[in-house]
Structure 1
Amino acid sequence: MAIVVEHDKRRAEILEKALDIFVEEGYEDATFQKIADRCGITRTTLYLYFKNKREIFIWSIKQLTDSVEKDLRGMIDEAGVPWATRLESVLHTIVDRCADNRRLFNVVLTYLLQAQKSGKDPDSRVKRRTIRLRHLMSQLMIAGRNAGEFKIPNVKIANELLYGLVESAIYRIAILDRSEAEDVKAAMSFAISQMTTSS
């Protein structure tokens, strides 16, 4: 058990230090050797944890999305809380976590732009990482509609609206370098209030 804990701890340390390299030098200029050097380990040791820099980068994103999803599932399962409140909490938490991880989103956006320049489809890469989030949002809206709290004739369109606000928050935080996105959170709250049956 102790070996697994140490392995996980070392992996987390590598991810954190690798993120610094990605932020400082960009995805393209970050190298496996630079990451190993920053971690104070050899490339051979780094290979025990990750097979290449892309895997390190993907793990950084996965670590964030898994953590966010776990938090969101807890909010969704809060019995007795109105569905609109749950949906608002989920969206605001996503925005806050984006602000907390602004450095990672800067690197992600650079990575996506480089992928686009090299002829790869950045949209499909983003969709693979966000499909569960979109599904959770749809589940919330459907449950709220079934409970009579939401008047949402088309959940897919409502999901696009709210997800577009999430993307707007990421843009403001990562590109415009705002430390928070209270205006986007206010827009999210307004959109949700327009979906409720009491509005």
Structure 2
Amino acid sequence: MAIVVEHDKRKHEILEKALEVFIEEGYEDVTFQKIAERCGITRTTLYIYFKNKREIFLWSIKQLTYGIEQELNEIVANENQTSEECLRAMLSTIVDVCEENKSLFSVLLTYLLSLQKSGDEPGKRVRRRVVRLQHMLSTVMIRGIKEGEFKKVNVKSANEMFYGLIQSAIFRLSVLDEKTIDDIRDTLNQAVDGILTEK
């Protein structure tokens, strides 16, 4: 059992360090050798854990999104918050993560464009990574509607609105190189105001 734990711990450390390399160098310029050097291991040892650079990159993204999902799950599970507070906290957390990982989103964009050029469907991959996020947003909105906090809105459309604003934030940070997206925060809060019932 200890070997499995050590293996998982080492894999986790490799993914964290590899993500740093991807952010610093960009997806195209990262090599297996650069990742191995950053981790203080040989390429041969790195092959024990991963087949190639792409697999490392995808696992790094998966590890990051898993951490975000855990944080959002805690917000959703907090019974001391109203649905409105929960939705605002979720959206704020997501925007915080976007700002903190601005460089990563630039690397991710390059990766998705390379997938598109090779004939792959990047949209399908992105949808797989965000489906749980959208489900959590829907859960909170449905709960808010049932509790009378939110208007009886079309949850799917409201979800698309929030998700579109989050995508806009990512685009503005990673492509337009904006330093802050406080106006997106304001817009998200205004969108939440728009679904609240009159008190």
Question: TM-score under structure 2 normalisation?
Answer: 0.91
What residue in structure 1 maps to residue 29 of structure 2? 29
What's the C-alpha RMSD, in Å, of the aligned pairs? 1.8
Q: Deviations over 1:35-90 (max 9, x none)?
A: 11232211111022222211111111111111111111111111132111111110
What residue in structure 2 maps to residue 128 of structure 1? 128
Amino acid at match of 2:33: Q
Following superposition, the deviation at residue 148 of structure 1 comes to 0.9
Return the alpha-carbon distance in structure 2 between the equivalents of residues 185 and 27 of structure 1: 29
Quickly say closer, same or farther: Cα 1:35–1:140, change in 2 above 3 A. same
Q: Which runs of 5+ in 1 are unaligned?
A: none
Deviates more, 1:144-153 or 1:32-41: 32-41
What residue in structure 1 maps to residue 167 of structure 2? 167
Amino acid at match of 2:81: V
What residue in structure 1 maps to residue 193 of structure 2? 193
Is the aligned partner of 1:146 residue 2:146?
A: yes
Q: Counterparts of 1:72-91 in structure 2 under 5 Å? A: 72-91=72-91
Following superposition, the deviation at residue 5 of structure 1 comes to 4.5
Amino acid at match of 1:91: L
Deviates more, 1:24-33 or 1:43-52: 24-33
Deviates more, 1:60-69 or 1:98-107: 98-107
Amino acid at match of 1:38: R
Q: Deviations over 1:110-146 (max 9, x none)?
A: 1111112222211111001101101111111111111
What residue in structure 1 maps to residue 110 of structure 2? 110
Report how many aligned residue pairs link the two structures: 199
Return the alpha-carbon distance in structure 1 between the equivalents of residues 109 and 136 of structure 2: 23
Structure 1 vs Structure 2: percent identity of aligned residues? 56
Q: Is the 8 A contact 1:15 1:56 kept in 2?
A: yes
Return the alpha-carbon distance in structure 2 between the equivalents of residues 180 and 89 of structure 1: 18
What residue in structure 1 maps to residue 15 of structure 2? 15
Question: TM-score under structure 1 normalisation?
Answer: 0.91
Q: Secondary structure of the residue that 1:65 maps to in structure 2?
A: helix
What residue in structure 1 maps to residue 66 of structure 2? 66
Q: Is the 8 A contact 1:96 1:180 kept in 2?
A: no
Q: Is the 8 A contact 1:83 1:144 kept in 2?
A: yes
Deviates more, 1:28-37 or 1:156-165: 28-37
Q: Is the 8 A contact 2:18 2:35 kept in 1?
A: yes
Q: Is the 8 A contact 2:153 2:195 kept in 1?
A: no
Return the alpha-carbon distance in structure 1 between the equivalents of residues 24 and 65 of structure 2: 22
